[in-house]
Amino acid sequence: MFFTVQLPHAWAQGTDIDAHVHWVPENNGLAGEVVSWGLEYTWANRGAVFGNTTIINSNVHTPAEAILLADKHYVTDLGDIGGFGKEASSMLVCRVFR
């Protein structure tokens, strides 16, 4: 899925973004199965040129369970996106993938 995000004026400029994915499996999983998520992004201030993309990913979900349960709400933490030097109204162009 591709999407674009504009950082709001209320965001504390220069702070990191806690990237994570909320998701719900359609079916029960099998023992040892994992779901891997990735986020590809590029971030630019107003008037700046978007640079190369960065990819972060993870397959660790909360709550941690050996078998995934259908229709249960899970969260996968992807880590922080460093916000040093970024300003309010800056934009991220992103792709989230499994």
CB 72 within 8 A of CB 26: no
Tell me the sheet residues that pair with 10. none
Q: Is the dihedral of CA 8, 11, 14, 17 positive or negative?
A: negative
* pLDDT range class, residue 4, cuts 50, 70, 90: very high
Q: What are the tens digits of pLDDT across the range 52-77? A: 999 999 998 888 888 899 999 999 99
- Strand-pair category, 2-6 with 17-23: unpaired
According to the model, what pLDDT value does residue 32 have? Answer: 80
Give the residue-averaged pLDDT of 9-32.
93
Q: Is the pLDDT of residue 31 over 90?
A: no
Asked if residue 51 lies in contact with residue 41, where contact means CB atoms within 8 angstroms, the answer is no
